Amino acid sequence: MPEEQRTFIAVKPDGVKRGLVGEIIKRFENKGFKLIGLKMLHVTQEMAERHYGEHEGKPFYPRLLRYIQSGPIVAMVWKGYNVIDGARHMMGKTNPMEAEVGTIRADYALLMEYNVVHGSDSPESAEREIGIYFKPEELCDEYVNMAESVIEDLG
């Protein structure tokens, strides 16, 4: 039985500016993942450093911090079976030119620096990243269980 998980997904500033929020949400909804948290916000320097701390010291780090603060992001929490790897599979590789056709980054991005979407890479980073952007009471996962109980009721 696959594991039910939560993950943090963000439409990055380039994705928001290009009007890709609805397209990205639609892909995850169509797949069957459940949206349980959603907000638009400006990432602060402190949030950017917490989010991307693992990359501190790498050549692209200063540009990455500027990029993630270059406009609002749409921050989301998604729930579902194997949603962490499942969402990253749908996003495609970090470099859009290496991402498989049909993935979000392959279909909507050209450059590694502007790859339109973020997704957590492990259960630990998912919980850490969710905690940067959301308070527990901002997440609405009770309706997901309700939907599942409806399906069970129908047999």
- Site of interaction with ligand UDP (CB under 6 A): 60, 64, 94, 112-113, 115, 118, 121
- What, of ligand UDP, Mg ion, none, does residue 118 touch, CB below 5 to 8 Å by kind? ligand UDP
- What, of Mg ion, ligand UDP, none, does residue 64 touch, CB below 5 to 8 Å by kind? ligand UDP
Site string for Mg ion, 70-109 (x = CB under 5 A): ----------------------------------------
Which 3-state string (H, E, C) describes the chain?
Answer: CCCEEEEEEEECHHHHHCCCHHHHHHHHHHHCCEEEEEEEECCCHHHHHHHCHHHCCCCCHHHHHHHHCCCCEEEEEEEEECHHHHHHHHHCCCCCCCCCCCCHHHHHCCECCECCEEECCCHHHHHHHHHHHCCHHHCCCHHHHHHHHHHHHCC
Our CB check for ligand UDP shows the closer of 31 and 93 to be: 93
Residue 54 identity (one-letter amino acid)? E
Our CB check for ligand UDP shows the closer of 82 and 140 to be: 82
Please list the active-site residues: 118
Our CB check for Mg ion shows the closer of 121 and 127 to be: 121
Q: Which stretch binds Mg ion (CB under 5 A): 40-48, 61-69, 120-128, 132-140?
A: 120-128
Q: Which stretch binds Mg ion (CB under 5 A): 12-20, 56-64, 85-93, 116-124?
A: 116-124
